[in-house]
Structure 1
Amino acid sequence: MAERPTTSWRDGIAEEAEELASGALDPECACMAGLFPEDLLAATDAVLDSYEAELARLAEAEDAQILAVVERAVLALNAVNDARNGSAFETGEREELCDYFDESLIEHGVDVVALTARHGLGRHQLTDQWRKW
């Protein structure tokens, strides 16, 4: 199963906390908990929960249905980002989220390359038309 970005973000927080506790990391260099507060992680997970649930209900779906699922999730993440003044997701996080969308679709039998090509999109432009993060 595709790994949620929030899983790796939480892992990073835990690793940093261990380094802080052991004295291996200077507290002034710690940033993970600030970058990924629990309310951001919970809001992002709620969006990904919905996305996964919708994907699970798609069976031999047409492009419009698939794209609608992606659109709803991207718009919901836009709202999460907006709630944090547009700074919830930086470049690395955006890439992780986009990869997660692709990997999840592939796991559900969607040929993402063909899907994007049929809609005149480049391979990595699946979320671009809706994404503000």
Structure 2
Amino acid sequence: MSVVVLVAAAVVENVTLDPAAYLLTLLGVIFSSAVFLGVGQALVGLIKSPDAVNAVGRLSYLPLFALGLFAHSTIFGTTFETIARWSPGGAVVTLLAGAMQPAAWSADTWWGLLASVFYAVVFAGIGIRWFQWSTR
């Protein structure tokens, strides 16, 4: 799907990236996917009811994505920006922004990568630790 989005961006919006940027973006998407899969796995591990997982998942992903949208904006103040920047969505935004512009790769991008790996490992670990199969 990421390849389709990158091709559509190139065709429709004339977005051009160098080959390294395409490769880094695809790697960033893999790390980003691991973050959100880990969050979902943690929810399933901690919440036993399928209906409750559905509801909590829907309610928790909206703030995660909203924080990612405002990760690099001071519109709500610097405290909110700091929280948003270090949220799972904010770490993903920082990582993907750096991946699409390898020349602008900075310490912030490395911290975004490190935070993404941290979130993926911690949330997946929580999900693995507390998940139990149950029969109905």
TM-score, with length taken from structure 1: 0.31
Higher helix share: 2
TM-score, with length taken from structure 2: 0.30
